[in-house]
Every structure is written in C-alpha cells, then in structure tokens.
Structure 1
Amino acid sequence: MHKFLCALLVLSCFWSCDKTAAFHEYKSLPKHWKSDSAVTLKVDNLDTLSTYNAFITLRNDNSYAFSNVFLIASMQFPNGKTITDTLEYKMANPDGSWLGTGFGDIKENKLWYKEHIQFSEAGSYTFKLKQAMRRNGDVNPIADLEGIRDVGLRIEKTNE
C-alpha cells in the first residue's frame, strides 16, 4: 500500500505541471551571490508570433538582510543586440515580513520583468542577471550578497 501511495504522489506531480510557462528555470547560487557573477539563462524555440510576459524569480531565506533588491538584467537577442535594465524590487513588508510565497525559511518571489514582449527573431535569447546591492552611502556593490538561494527566469505566453 505504501508503494502505491508513493507512486500516486509522483504521478500527481506530473499531472499538475504548470501549463502556462513557456520557459521556467532556476539556477542555484553558492552561499553568496558575488557582485561580479551573472546568472545566465538561455531560452530557445519560442513562438515568434506570440506575446509573452517575463518574470525574474528569486528564492530568498531569512539571512537576506534587505527589504529590497537591485538587479541588472540584460536580454541578448539572437542577432547580438542587447537590452539592459536596472531594476528594483520590494522583498519585504514594512513590518519586516517577507513577500513571496512558501513556508518556512524560504520565500519564492515572482517579479515582473517585461510585459507583452514578442521574441520576433528566431533563435536563442540569452538573459543575464546580476545583483547590484549597495549599502547606504557606499559606491561599490556588496561583493558577497547573502540570502538569495536561487535565481530564475519564467516566461509565460499571454492569452492575447
């Protein structure tokens, strides 16, 4: 009976797969996210006629010491053109409680990156994400940012 329940649980995980995501991948980070280290994700074979919404996904734990996060995100097109954005996201409420979903020490955040975009060029798109956190009054970024466990990218097809 125990084996049957385990098999049923595994099968239910496959049945409940997320159908809205055209792409969703995480990269685990070492203990610290170094300021000079970019997380690179490659996306291939998206429908060039459809529109998509893109999200940056972060998982943080309680050792993250800030209520926000600054990121530098770049998207490189197959032809080599690159678009770079500096982004700021809120990570905690004013009372210090974490935003995002999840139980326990780890929270998952789905952060808007680009809305209604079209990947009009066929080929591979490369996304690079870097942390750009600085302490107040400091010009240099925090060399070793603690508390961000995983960084990812999620692309969802819109219903248009």
Structure 2
Amino acid sequence: MTTGRFFAVFKHGTAVCFLAVLSLMVGCQPNSWYHHSLVFDQQGWDMNDTLRFSDTLTSSTPLTLNGKLTLRHTNAYPYQNLWLYITTHTDDSLMVSDSINWTLAKPDGNWLGTGWGSLYTISYDLPTLTFSPSDSVRWFEIELVHGLRDSLLTGLSDIGLRLYTKE
C-alpha cells in the first residue's frame, strides 16, 4: 500500500469513526428526534447528485421540529461559501424549496466554525419542520443540491441533518 493510499484510507476511516461517535452522542440527547450524516465521495460532490435525508417518525414526535445542517470540510474546499438548493416535503404539506448561501469563511479567508487540523465543522439552522396532528406517523424528506458551477465540488467531508426540539 502506498503512503498516499494509506493516508486516504486513514482519513476516510477517521471520518467514519467521528460520525459514529457523533451519532452516539447526539442519539443520547433527549430532545433529538432524528440525526443522520452522509459522507461525500472522495472525488467530490457531483453537481447532478441530490443528497436525501428521509425518514418516518412515530406519532409521538412533536408537531414542530427544528432542523440543523452540519457540514465538515477541509482546507481544500475552494470557496468562502456554499450555495445549497433545499427542498423539504412532509406528509401534510406541499414541497417547499429554498436556497441558502452558507458562509463558510470570513472575507480574509479564515474558516468559520470549529476546526481541528485541516478539518472544519460549521452548522446552519433550517426553518422549522411542521407536521399535521392527524398523521399517525410523521414522514419527511429533505433534498440538497449544491448550486455552484463546479461539476465536481471538492474539499467536503460529510454533511448531517439533526431534527430536534428546543429545551
């Protein structure tokens, strides 16, 4: 195994371990109803790929949930921001589409959020997700598409969605 390949495997394994530990920590939070992360392909995020978070929650789930996206990226990410097109759908609503310009770095190039080594983490609060009281289960789907012109967006590690109630 070459040194470069070893570090690529090590880096990917580290990301998977971090996500597993993060999932355990978030899963133990009493106000968290859903948490899932998607790892980007090592080559990058293709402009034609749609990321989907979808699940069915029990009827004991509150009628409104707050949402938070958490992105991890590396120093290799080439921009100060990330344009996302977000489509949200629940059982009782029409699809709602929105776009966000997620600022990842200050104008001087310093990354926002928290970081360790060459990996940085930043979160973005989403609009409230509302369910109908008549639903016996609460179904949702949130789709993400990047809005940058790059056919392959590099420097991204993973992105997670957490749905929760405020304490």
* TM-score for the superposition, normalised by structure 1: 0.76
Kindly name which structure, 1 or 2, has the bigger radius of gyration based on alpha carbons. Answer: 1
RMSD: 2.3
How far 1:14 moved relative to its partner?
5.9
1:126 maps to a residue whose letter is: E
Evaluate the alpha carbon distance shift between residue 48 and residue 81 of structure 1 in structure 2; reply closer, same or farther with a 3 A threshold: farther
Please say if residues 74 and 83 of structure 1, whose CA atoms lie closer than 8 Å, have aligned partners that are also in contact: yes
**What is the alpha-carbon distance in structure 2 between the residues aligned to residue 147 and residue 57 of structure 1?**
15
Evaluate the alpha carbon distance shift between residue 61 and residue 15 of structure 1 in structure 2; reply closer, same or farther with a 3 A threshold: closer
2:53 to 36, 41, 50: 41
- Trace 1:136-151 onto structure 2 (pairs within 5 A): 141-151=149-159
Evaluate the alpha carbon distance shift between residue 24 and residue 48 of structure 1 in structure 2; reply closer, same or farther with a 3 A threshold: closer
- Trace 1:11-160 onto structure 2 (pairs within 5 A): 17-30=28-41, 31-45=43-57, 47=60, 49-78=62-91, 81-115=94-128, 117-120=129-132, 121=135, 122-133=137-148, 141-159=149-167
How far 1:65 moved relative to its partner?
0.7
Seq. identity, %? 24
Evaluate the alpha carbon distance shift between residue 156 and residue 14 of structure 1 in structure 2; reply closer, same or farther with a 3 A threshold: closer
Per-residue CA shift, 1:93-115, capped at 9, x if unaligned?
A: 22211111231111111101114
Per-residue CA shift, 1:71-107, capped at 9, x if unaligned?
A: 0111122257311111111101222111112311111
Number of equivalenced pairs: 139
Q: Which runs of 5+ in 2 are unaligned?
A: 1-22
**What is the alpha-carbon distance in structure 2 between the residues aligned to residue 49 and residue 124 of structure 1?**
12
**What is the alpha-carbon distance in structure 2 between the residues aligned to residue 14 and residue 48 of structure 1?**
20
**What is the alpha-carbon distance in structure 2 between the residues aligned to residue 156 and residue 14 of structure 1?**
15
2:141 maps to a residue whose letter is: T
Evaluate the alpha carbon distance shift between residue 62 and residue 15 of structure 1 in structure 2; reply closer, same or farther with a 3 A threshold: closer
Per-residue CA shift, 1:21-43, capped at 9, x if unaligned?
A: 22111100112101110111113
Evaluate the alpha carbon distance shift between residue 14 and residue 126 of structure 1 in structure 2; reply closer, same or farther with a 3 A threshold: closer
2:54 maps to a residue whose letter is: K
**What is the alpha-carbon distance in structure 2 between the residues aligned to residue 88 and residue 15 of structure 1?**
29
Secondary structure at the counterpart of residue 108 of structure 1? strand
User: Which structure: greater helix fraction?
Assistant: 2
1:129 maps to a residue whose letter is: L
Evaluate the alpha carbon distance shift between residue 14 and residue 113 of structure 1 in structure 2; reply closer, same or farther with a 3 A threshold: closer
